[in-house]
Chain A
Amino acid sequence: MSEPGTEGQPIGGGVAAIDRMLADAEVVVMSGPGGVGKTTIGAALGLRAAQVHGRRVVVVTVDPARRLAEALGVARLTEEPVLVPVGSDEGRLWVLMVDMAKSWDELVSRHAPTDGVASQLLANRLYRTLTRRFVQSHDYIALDHLLLLAEQDRYDLVIVDTPPSRHALDLFDAPGRMIEFFESRLLRWLTAGAGSGLTTLAAKPFLLVAERLLGDDFLTQITEFFTLFSRLRPAFVARARAVEARLSDPSTTYAVVTTTDPLVAGGCQDLIDELQRRGLQPGLLVANRFPPSLRLTDVDGVVTPVPAVGQTELSSVTDPTLAEAVGRLVDRAGDATLPSTGATARPVVPVAWSAEDLADLDGLAGLFPDP
């Protein structure tokens, strides 16, 4: 797909560049727009790290990914790490799926100052709704899980898939939002008088409006929730800071997955720009579903997709229906684009587009063929 570069290296760095990353990264965060194949690419990276580099890898997913589980030869993804038979002497690969509700409950149990606070909070209706019904609460939990696993000696490398956020960047804001929440005046307002059964003067207008909006019963629930939650504050804030530190640690690499579709690549560019604004560097750009109608070129260090075939090649197709189908793929190649990874050239690795489903471990390993 890619022509040889100046030093015999494939353009964009190829699988050799991935190998350099997999040899010593400790945490790889998979990011990219929804539907680009993050989960599969993350699993393929984990498999290569285990098979080729002999590392002990855990891949964390946030969705059930049944087809991937099948390809890995695992009956079902669960919150307990499942060992994948990778056929390596040293390398190990585990996969696990984060159970959001259970993880929140464990987090609360870990951070609560007393068992009483934990059990009251776990029974609170607002707490249960927030942690079970709403996807937004999943962002923070995915990251907390990352830290939990990275702290264990059992694994050399943690690869974490990111949940489908409304905006891909919500994820990176999750720890900050958690800290902000605990340090907010709102929380203090709501909870300041709760211990004595009195409401502070500052909270009064808010509570009057809230009561009018929400009714007394809910107000009791909401006040209980905020009051109980605030008891977890010191532990929670410390934890969220540790998560933040881990995200910006040099041993954490961001693997951005995209396709050459202009809309997807555009969304990915926003993501990369935002990562860089936060001082985080994408260590790898994977161009998934890279069609055979494209090849990569390197113009002054900028890796760009260009059409590999044109009207001349197309003219050898005689059947009109096939010519139409192939012609569309050729036309689309003309619009193909990739996000720019910034001033310093970073690996850009294409993964060949196959319309066939992943069947097994060999199929997964084949996404990154040996250089």
Chain B
Amino acid sequence: MTAALAARSAAAGRRVLAVDALGSGGLDQLVDGLGPQGYETLRLTTRASLDEYLKIYLRLPLGPSRLGPLAAIFDYVSAAAPGVRELLVIGKIGWEVRNGPWDEIVVDAPATGHVVELLGAPRSMAELIPTGPLAEQTAWLRDVLAATTTSLTLVTLPEELPVTETGELLDRIRTETSTGVDRLIVNRTPAPITAAGLAEIDRLVAAGDPIAPVATLAGARFAAAEAQTERLRRLGLPLLPVDDRPEDPVAAVLDALDRPDR
């Protein structure tokens, strides 16, 4: 999804940075498969974000040799004390927003729950650390996250549990962060089946056709997706259903983006 959004903006002539906030490399793999995209990618690991953070923000009087062992300690603290990692990652992204040459930054954020930690990290830190340079840094970071130019795109599936989680996530985002949500992408939306198609399922089942179990599943998936999309609609956000085409997910997203919102 991140790759598709970045590719689309780059194709429109914007300078785009795609950020893999998970540091997983999944974005790189996808990008490698896409060929030249006209956007740059940045993979964030704790260590890399930390070095940036210390060097750029705090102007610490430390050369690289002093930073090495210190960074090792911080790696350790960030593993033992979660929250540090989130702050560093969001700090680096904030720095790119303010100082980078980009028209647009697309961030592949971590899954449900973790994303609230990421967006809420500056606020958590502000509660924890009310004074000092870090507190000042977190103040402007919060401004970046609350700005109208920063928004969240939620991606979900038209299935019961993901829809429930999306509703809960939306509540948490609205109460625990200051970042706005602009749309909901409904990934892997199954192909629609007409009334005639649904009627044929019953005929196939009655005839004991070997394809009947698969047709029954296809019908049940479609009905469930319709019901779940209806639940999503009640969340009051623009919905963008993306066709379920596992063989070419990026193309499916691009097609969906070119269609008007439903």
The answer to whether B197 touches A217 (Cβ under 8 A) is no
Given contact pairs A130-B83, A214-B129, A292-B214, A317 touches B200 in the complex (Cβ within 8 A): yes
- State the CA gap A292–B201 with chains docked (Å): 14
Q: Which of A184, A314, A355 is packed against the most chain B CB atoms within 10 Å?
A: A355
- Tell which of A66, A218, A316, A321 touches B132, judged by Cβ atoms closer than 8 Å: A218
Given contact pairs A209-B60, A322-B197, A214 touches B76 in the complex (Cβ within 8 A): no
The answer to whether B211 touches A215 (Cβ under 8 A) is no
The answer to whether B73 touches A206 (Cβ under 8 A) is yes
Given contact pairs A177-B80, A292-B213, A129 touches B124 in the complex (Cβ within 8 A): yes
B14 to chain A, nearest CB (A): 29
The answer to whether B83 touches A134 (Cβ under 8 A) is yes
Q: Which of B79, B217, B244 is packed against the most chain A CB atoms within 10 Å?
A: B217
The answer to whether A166 touches B114 (Cβ under 8 A) is yes
- Tell which of A136, A209, A292 touches B82, judged by Cβ atoms closer than 8 Å: A136
- Tell which of A212, A216, A322 touches B131, judged by Cβ atoms closer than 8 Å: A216
Residue B191 at the chain A interface, CB threshold 8 Å? yes
Contact mask for chain B residues 49-71; partner A; CB cutoff 8 A; 1 contact, 0 none? 00000000010101000000010
- State the CA gap A101–B218 with chains docked (Å): 42
Residue A145 at the chain B interface, CB threshold 8 Å? no
Residue B13 at the chain A interface, CB threshold 8 Å? no
- State the CA gap A264–B3 with chains docked (Å): 20
- State the CA gap A354–B217 with chains docked (Å): 7
Residue A32 at the chain B interface, CB threshold 8 Å? no
Residue A245 at the chain B interface, CB threshold 8 Å? no
Interface-facing stretch out of A52-60, A86-94, A327-335, A340-348:
A327-335
Residue B190 at the chain A interface, CB threshold 8 Å? yes
B160 to chain A, nearest CB (A): 6
- Tell which of B62, B214, B246, B247 touches A326, judged by Cβ atoms closer than 8 Å: B214
Hey, which chain B residues are within 8 Å of A135, CB to CB?
A: 82, 113-114, 117
Contact mask for chain B residues 192-232; partner A; CB cutoff 8 A; 1 contact, 0 none? 11101110110010000111011111111111100000000
Residue B169 at the chain A interface, CB threshold 8 Å? no
- State the CA gap A329–B212 with chains docked (Å): 12
Residue A12 at the chain B interface, CB threshold 8 Å? no
Residue B175 at the chain A interface, CB threshold 8 Å? no
Residue A275 at the chain B interface, CB threshold 8 Å? no
Number of chain A residues close to chain B: CB under 8 A: 58
Hey, which chain A residues are within 8 Å of B117, CB to CB?
A: 133-135
Residue A35 at the chain B interface, CB threshold 8 Å? yes
- State the CA gap A314–B214 with chains docked (Å): 9
Given contact pairs A34-B111, A130-B82, A321 touches B197 in the complex (Cβ within 8 A): yes
- Tell which of A316, A326, A355 touches B223, judged by Cβ atoms closer than 8 Å: A355
Contact mask for chain A residues 200-234; partner B; CB cutoff 8 A; 1 contact, 0 none? 00000110010111111110010000000000000
- State the CA gap A133–B176 with chains docked (Å): 11
A321 to chain B, nearest CB (A): 4
Hey, which chain A residues are within 8 Å of B200, CB to CB?
A: 317-319, 322
The answer to whether B81 touches A130 (Cβ under 8 A) is yes
Interface of A, helix, strand, loop or mixed by DSSP = helix
Chain B residue at minimal CB-CB distance from A164:
B113
The answer to whether B160 touches A357 (Cβ under 8 A) is yes
Hey, which chain A residues are within 8 Å of B245, CB to CB?
A: 328
A162 to chain B, nearest CB (A): 14
The answer to whether B217 touches A212 (Cβ under 8 A) is no
Chain B residue at minimal CB-CB distance from A64:
B168
The answer to whether A316 touches B129 (Cβ under 8 A) is no
The answer to whether B133 touches A212 (Cβ under 8 A) is yes
Q: Could you list 18 A-B pairs, sorted by A, with CB under 8 Å?
A: A129-B83, A166-B22, A186-B76, A217-B130, A292-B214, A292-B217, A293-B214, A317-B204, A319-B200, A321-B192, A322-B194, A322-B219, A325-B219, A330-B214, A331-B247, A354-B220, A355-B220, A355-B224
Sample of 17 more A-B contacts, CB < 8 Å, known A166-B110, A322-B215: A125-B127, A125-B128, A129-B128, A130-B82, A209-B62, A212-B132, A212-B133, A213-B134, A221-B128, A309-B211, A313-B210, A314-B211, A319-B193, A322-B200, A325-B191, A329-B214, A330-B214
**9 shortest A-B CB distances, which residue pairs?**
A215-B132, A322-B197, A292-B213, A355-B220, A134-B82, A319-B197, A136-B82, A325-B218, A218-B129
What residues of chain B have their CB less than 8 Å away from a CB belonging to chain A?
A: 22, 58, 60, 62, 70, 73, 76-77, 79-83, 110-114, 117, 120, 124, 127-135, 160-162, 164, 190-194, 196-198, 200-201, 204, 209-211, 213-224, 244-247
